[in-house]
Amino acid sequence: MDVKSLSCNIVVIGAGIAGIEAIKELSKYDDNFIIIEEGPLGSTLQRYGDIPANILMGSALKLKSLVDIEKYGIKLNGLYSFDTSNVMNSLRAIRAKATNEVLAYLYHIDENKRIIGKAKFIDNNKVMVNDNIEIEFKSAIIATGAKSYIPYELSSLGDILTIKDIYNLDDIPKSLAVFGTSLQGLVIGQALSYLGTKVVVFADDNIWNITDNIVSNTARDILQKNIHFEVNSTITQIQKEENGYGIYYLDNNKYENYIFTADILSSAVPVANIEGLNIKNISLALDEYGFIEVNQETMQTNLPHIFAIGDVVNRFYSNTKSINDARIAAFNAAHYPYIKKKEQSYVRLDILNSDPPMAVVGLSFEQMKQRSRNGHSFTVSDGRMADGIYRARREDGGVLRLYTDDKDALILGAEICGYGADQIAKFLAQIIANKKTIFDLEQYDFYIPSYEEVIAKAVGLGIKTVKRKGKY
């Protein structure tokens, strides 16, 4: 087979949200690039990520609001029923619009700079695509993302659904067992339950990215009102049956149970999509979870001319961080060997658009505990979402847990479950980025009623605790 030889300054592997943002930024500095995408074209975000999950949840919440209408003093006269047979078609139609916007941008790139195929590294400065195109480069950006996987104990059953498969279904399933509480799986399971699917979620103590037991217990209590959760159960047997699967398990109290489900969704935490890249050929360093290790200030790997961004770097990356990292990686790849660092340290902002939303902002509870082992004590203060706007909107029951450093009173992080968690987290991200103390936060006048007024509760309790410790 004849091998075609090409050369460029920068090669970008992957055309997801991070890869596309890198190309946009590269275009400002260096036009001599090639982007390689295995296909299909279009960001995972649009096809199988947050966008279709939120479209599905949007449909679900509309239906839930009608079912819950009597809580607001409104009574429906007579019987009512709902036809959900067009939900998935509607989802795909809206998703197509978002995907087409991405494709429109990609197709505006010179076709000589776009290659569809599977890339693998030959050495530190060459990649081979489809075994017939060899590309020599000066610097590279890896943006291949992460992918779903099916654990062995499920894969042996056959026909197990992944997140990608859900959005290709003709209709919502009659019943579904979800294994794991990754971002997509939790939202999909909850949305489908509102739309009429009989859903059971098998999970351990962890809920999404939450590490604070108070928050995770609150989340579980709220979620269990509308969805069947089995926490820390032991699966004893899953067997294929006619039109579905039979699941035998011991629940948390060690009682034996059996359920039948038409479908099973594997919602395990995704793994880095690096299979076939041949990264061992170039001795690229991976972390303990199999993701590519990078310098978070420059996005360089252990090979300084090769950069990595997006989900291939971290299984819990947010879209905002992927975009910001793509910009710094693109600048550095275009100007290598000159390297600049990020101008402002990144404040973690993870938001799960479940019902109610959840969020982790700044340092998580687990990270705060790790700091405390090194002598950095901290204060935890609660803000319970029980009155004000929460009571008025029948949305009470959530919690905000605020983490304050004892030495300098800086707000360092929070974990949240409750309505308005996304708004609260965005506000706190700015507070953390601007290095505000809990005493600075005490001076804020929060509009009443608003979701943010729960922050004042947590701040008030936090200040009392900090002062009681004799720190101030």
431: pLDDT strictly greater than 70: yes
- Which of these, 308, 355, 335, 23, lies nearest to 141 by C-alpha position? 308
CA–CA separation, 12 vs 291, rounded Å? Answer: 18
Q: Which residue, 222, 237, 266, sits at the end of a domain?
A: 266
CA–CA separation, 39 vs 428, rounded Å? Answer: 38
Q: In terms of residue numbers, what domain contains 304?
A: 4-39+117-147+271-335
- CA angle 37/316/345 to nearest 5° reads 100
* Same domain (yes/no): 17, 142: yes
269: pLDDT strictly greater than 80: no
Q: Tell me the pLDDT of the chain averaged across its residues.
A: 89
Q: Which tokens belong to 35?
A: 């982007």
* Same domain (yes/no): 418, 276: no
Kind and range of the H or E run holding 319: helix 319-335
- Within a domain: 456: yes
- Within a domain: 53: no
- Within a domain: 458: yes
- Within a domain: 164: yes
* Same domain (yes/no): 330, 417: no
- Within a domain: 391: yes
Number of domains in the chain: 3
**What is the side-by-side strand order in the sheet with 256-261?**
234-241, 244-250, 256-261
Q: Which residue, 335, 359, 374, sits at the end of a domain?
A: 335
Q: How confident is the model at residue 289 (pLDDT cuts 50, 70, 90)?
A: confident
Q: Which residue, 231, 266, 301, sits at the end of a domain?
A: 266
What pLDDT does residue 315 have?
A: 67
* Same domain (yes/no): 14, 121: yes
- Within a domain: 92: no
Q: How confident is the model at residue 29 (pLDDT cuts 50, 70, 90)?
A: very high
* Same domain (yes/no): 389, 310: no
DSSP state for residue 112 in the 8-state scheme: G
* Same domain (yes/no): 423, 390: yes
* Same domain (yes/no): 132, 280: yes
Lowest mean pLDDT among 42-56, 89-103, 394-408: 42-56
Instruction: Please list the residues that pair with 378 across neighbouring strands.
Output: 405
DSSP state for residue 158 in the 8-state scheme: S
Q: How many CA atoms lie within 13 A of 410 on its CB side?
A: 15
- Within a domain: 181: yes
* Same domain (yes/no): 252, 303: no
What pLDDT does residue 41 have?
A: 57
* Same domain (yes/no): 130, 25: yes
CATH, residue 386: 3.30.390.30
Q: Per residue in 148-206, pLDDT tens?
A: 777 777 878 888 898 888 998 999 999 999 988 777 888 999 999 999 999 999 887 77
- CA angle 389/394/398 to nearest 5° reads 75
For 44-63, the DSSP string reads: HHHHTSHHHHHHHHHHHHHH
* Same domain (yes/no): 143, 282: yes
What pLDDT does residue 46 have?
A: 66
CATH, residue 164: 3.50.50.60
* Same domain (yes/no): 195, 257: yes
CB 49 within 8 A of CB 184: yes
State yes or no: cis peptide before 357, omega within 30 of 0. Answer: no
* Contacts by residues 459-467 (CB-CB < 8 Å, ≥ 24 positions apart): 459/381, 459/383, 459/402, 460/381, 461/381, 461/382, 461/383, 462/379, 462/380, 462/381, 462/402, 462/404, 462/438, 463/438, 463/439, 465/379, 465/381, 466/379, 466/404, 466/406, 466/409, 466/438
- Within a domain: 54: no
CA 416 to each of CA 211, 320, 404: distance values in angstroms, whole numbers, following the listed order? 11, 19, 15
DSSP state for residue 317 in the 8-state scheme: -
* Same domain (yes/no): 193, 279: no
